[in-house]
Amino acid sequence: MTPADRLTEAEAAAELARLAAEIARHDRLYHEQDTPGISDAEYDALRRRNDAIEARFPALVRADSPSRRVGAQPASGFAKLRHRVPMLSLDNAFAPEDFAEFCRRARRFLNLKDEPLAFVAEPKIDGLSISLTYENGEFQRGATRGDGLEGEDVTANLRTIAAVPKRLAGAAPALIEIRGEVFMSKTDFLALNAAQQAAGQKLFANPRNAAAGSLRQLDPAITAARPLSLFAYAMGEASAPVAATHWEWLERLAGWGFTVNPLSRRLSGEAEAAGFQAEIGAARAGLPYDIDGVVYKIDDLALQSRLGFVGRAPRWAIAWKFPAEQATTLLLDIAIQVGRTGALTPVAQLQPVNVGGVLVTRATLHNADEIARLDVRIGDTVLLQRAGDVIPQIVAVDRSRRPEGAAPYAFPDHCPVCGSLAARAPGEVVLRCTGGLTCPAQTEERLIHFVSRGAFDIEGLGEKTIREFHAEGLATTEGETFHLRGPADIFRLPAHEAAIAVREGWGALSAANLTRAIRARQRIPLARFIYALGIRRIGEANAKLLARHYASFANWRAQMLAAVQIGSEARSDLGNILGIGPAIAEELAEFFAEPRNVATLDELAALLQIEDAEAPAAAAGALAGKVVVFTGTLQTMARPEAKALAEKLGARVTETVSRKTDLVVLGADAGSKARRAAELGVRTVTEQEWRDLAGLPAQA
Ligand code: JCF
Superfamily designation of domain 4-69: Helix hairpin bin (1.10.287.610)
| Pairwise CA distance, residues 459 & 453, whole Å | 9
Predicted confidence at residue 620, as pLDDT, reads: 60
Q: Residue 224 class from Cβ within 10 Å (0-12 exposed, 13-18 middle, 19+ buried)? A: middle
Q: Class of 627-694 per CATH? A: alpha beta
* CB-CB contact of 357 with 386 (8 Å): no
The CATH fold assigned to 439-521 is DNA polymerase; domain 1 (1.10.150)
What is the DSSP code (8-state) at residue 409? Answer: P
Question: What pLDDT, on a 0 to 100 scale, did the predictor assign at position 26?
Answer: 80
State the pLDDT at residue 32.
Answer: 57
Ligand 1 atom with the smallest distance to the CA of 126 is 3
How does pLDDT run across 345-356, given as a tens digit for each residue? 999 999 998 887
**Is CATH 3.30.470.30 correct for 82-321?**
yes
pLDDT at site 75: 41
Atom of ligand 1 nearest to the CA of 125: 1
CATH of 326-425, one of 2.40.50.140, 3.30.420.40, 3.60.15.10, 3.40.50.970: 2.40.50.140
Q: What's residue 219's pLDDT? A: 86
Phi-psi map region of 33: left, alpha, beta (phi>0 left; psi -120 to 50 alpha): alpha
Distant-in-sequence, close-in-space partners of 465: CB < 8 Å, separation ≥ 6: none
> What is the model's pLDDT at position 34?
53
Residues ≥6 apart with Cβ < 8 Å to 622: 649, 650, 693, 694, 695
How far apart CA 660 and CA 598 sit, in angstroms, is 31
Report, in angstroms and rounded to the nearest whole number, the Rg of the chain calculated over CA atoms.
Answer: 29
CATH for 525-611?
1.10.150.20
Query: Distance between CA 23 and CA 290 in Å, rounded?
Result: 46
Span 383-439, pLDDT tens digits: 998 876 567 889 899 999 999 999 999 999 999 999 999 999 888 889 999 988 789
Question: What residue spans define the domains of the chain?
Answer: 4-69, 82-321, 326-425, 439-521, 525-611, 627-694
> Which of 80, 124, 464, 660 is the catalytic position?
124
Q: Write down the pLDDT at residue 342.
A: 92
pLDDT at 71: 40
Predicted pLDDT of residue 531: 96
- Size of the chain in residues: 700
Contacts of 478 (CB under 8 A, 6+ apart): none
* Whether 370 contacts 395, CB under 8 Å: no
Question: What's the 124 CA to ligand 1 centre distance in angstroms?
Answer: 6
Q: Where are the beta strands (DSSP E) in 522-626?
A: 523-525, 609-611
Give pLDDT < 50 ranges for the chain: 70-75, 618-619
List ligand 1's pocket residues with C-beta within 6 A. 88, 90, 122, 124-125, 129, 181, 233-234, 295, 317
The rounded Å distance from CA 210 to ligand 1 centre is 19
Q: How would you classify the pairing of strands 663-666 and 683-686?
A: parallel
Let me know if 626 is a catalytic residue. Answer: no
Residue 244 CB: number of other CB atoms within 10 A? Answer: 12
How far separated are the first and last CA of the chain, in Å rounded? Answer: 85
Q: What is the pLDDT of residue 319?
A: 95
User: Would the CATH topology of 439-521 be identical to that of 525-611?
Assistant: yes
Q: Could you tell me the distance, in angstroms and rounded to a whole number, from the CA of residue 295 to the centre of ligand 1?
A: 6
Side-chain-side CA neighbours of 127 within 13 Å: the count stands at 27
Ligand 1 center from residue 123 Cα (angstroms): 9
Distances (CA, A) of 645 to 108, 544, 616, 639, 682: 15, 22, 17, 10, 21
What pLDDT shows up at residue 461?
Answer: 94
Atom 6 in ligand 1: residue holding the nearest Cα: 124
If one residue of 102, 128, 129 were mutated to test the ligand 1 pocket, choosing by the most ligand atoms within 8 A of its CB, it would be 129
